[in-house]
Chain A
Amino acid sequence: MDFYFGLAQLIGVHTLLGLSAYIVLLTGQVSLAQAGFFAVGAYAAGMLTVLAGWHLVPALGVSALSGAAVACAVGFPALRVKGLMLVIATLAFGEGVRLFFFNFDYQIAKGGIQVGPLGGEGFRQIRFFPENGWETGEVMLFIWVFVAAAMALLWWFDRSRYGTVLRAVGEDEIAAQSMGINLTAVKVSAMTVGGAIAGIGGGLYAHYTTHIEHASFSILLATFAIAYPIVGGLRSVFGTLLAVIFVQGFLVEGLRFLGDWRNLLFGALIVLAMNLRPSGILGRRRA
């Protein structure tokens, strides 16, 4: 049973990551910075519970805030450029964050051992869950509370004028601007909300794996982040969830019996899926 709980934890965290890219994608921006926000949230929450002895819930609050703050700060300069330039700018930012944590040491002695992030070694012993006696199932439920909240928030956005404006900006920036929409405010706000969601996802990830290192937040993770909403389609938040289940549940876990060949199949399947359904599994309705 623990195996399935573990898988559900992973799916939950990746759904948060996918949703953070989803809201940015609605405005027509492809951001490969989401793994960076995720990393910021992971390190922030981990340091607060391990080094400062905080409870996880307020630490996650700080994860969300720091993810949002970094996203907002990145948003202003990065959104000056559009389209493919933005892809590259955010990709470089994500790599920058990873390299920052690769060089980041902050250790203190606690109970006779050194704890805290240690450069390339990573950040071990994030033991909030085991120390407080949480079972895998409880951790999974805890994670899914956040997933449900994030999905509800974005689902609500989609029904509000805000979500409609996001999609309008994604459709045609010139028309949106001419109809009185402040492009910068809208794009940066989407980026900020995405940063907050990714931050929470990162904080949860740090605690259920108990060990994070820079390599976990590579371009591969950033690619996963945008792959989920693209594969799932931008029509609704459920597409992203379905895509995460498909990728993590079916492709990664379900094909484990293929051993080495699974990794080969993974790339090939993405290529194939995009050839067959360029607008995603639950793609947009087309004219």
Chain B
Amino acid sequence: MLELRTLSRHFGGVRAVDGLDLTVQEGQIFGLIGPNGSGKSTTVNVITGLFPPTSGAIVFRGQDIAGLPTHLRLREGIARTFQNIRLFGQLSVWQNLWVAQNSAQDLARQGFFARWLGGQRGVREEIGRLLEFSGLAHKRDELAANLAFGEQRRLELARAMAAKPKLLLLDEPAAGMNSEEIGQLRSRILKLRESGVTILLVEHVMELVMGVTDRIAVLNFGQKIAEGTPGEIQAHPAVRKAYLGGEAA
């Protein structure tokens, strides 16, 4: 589904991502972990096109998308959430989802005028379902900026889903959540996989990563130091070393 081939992204002399090879199979929940500053978020930003790669290829469903502008990558079926929550704060909850309906299916379904100048009537039902799924139906007309932190995280996930992605990139979706919320997030992620979405999960919270992923890659200093099933990763000596304290450990 997604294949990164010797992908690199340098910022001046800093090699944020350095020759990364990664393959995510269709239907997988793939975990990407690593210490702070190991290049996880940069990888997500390069996949979605916010930064062009310094070198290497990003192959998505058999096509190299490295030269595609960000907004067209969503149309190909890649949607994301942000580590530091980037909602449209002065738009209402349902407007946040409305804006995101830019998938290829949505484009094919509606004519230009209905799509841009039509009211909300045609899409109300679909947005309603997404809000139901995220437990935000009662906050439909609230401004996104006025939501509680956990609700904002849920809304961001719902907004990414509104783009009907084939591949969903979640950038630390559990950051700042308590364990009850993490449990809900976990069941949502599993439900999304059942509906056929492939997921790349960047996360620090091991409770979530180890519980839902099929396969995990570990990054350190922009390079992949290990890859395997959650069980294999937990037992991997290089991973323990990277997490527990650099060269000394």
Taking Cβ atoms with an 8 Å cutoff, the residues of A that contact B are 156-157, 159-162, 164-165, 167-168, 171-172, 174-183, 284-285, 287
CB of B169, distance to nearest CB on chain A (Å): 10
Of B87, B117, B163, most A-chain CB atoms within 10 Å: B117
Contact across chains for A285 and B143 when beta carbons are under 8 A apart: yes
Given A159-B119, A161-B116, A180-B163, do A175 and B86 touch, yes or no (CB 8 Å)? Answer: yes
Question: B interface, by DSSP: helix, strand, loop or mixed?
Answer: mixed
Q: How many A-B residue pairs have CB under 8 A?
A: 87
A-B contact pairs, 11 of them (CB 8 A): A161-B98, A167-B88, A171-B88, A175-B87, A175-B88, A177-B71, A178-B82, A179-B102, A180-B74, A180-B163, A287-B143
Given A180-B100, A181-B99, do A167 and B91 touch, yes or no (CB 8 Å)? Answer: yes
CB of B22, distance to nearest CB on chain A (Å): 20
CB of A63, distance to nearest CB on chain B (Å): 23
Known: A160-B116, A162-B117. 7 other contacts (CB 8 A): A156-B117, A167-B88, A167-B90, A171-B88, A175-B82, A177-B71, A178-B48
Give CA–CA (A182, B71) in the complex, Å.
Answer: 6
Give CA–CA (A159, B117) in the complex, Å.
Answer: 8
A contact residues around B86 at 8 Å (CB): 172, 174-175, 178
Chain A residue with the shortest CB-CB distance to B114: A161
Give CA–CA (A172, B99) in the complex, Å.
Answer: 12
Chain A residue with the shortest CB-CB distance to B86: A175
Taking Cβ atoms with an 8 Å cutoff, the residues of B that contact A are 48, 50, 69-72, 74-75, 79-80, 82, 86-91, 95-96, 98-103, 115-120, 143, 145-146, 159-160, 163
A contact residues around B79 at 8 Å (CB): 178-180
Give CA–CA (A239, B88) in the complex, Å.
Answer: 22
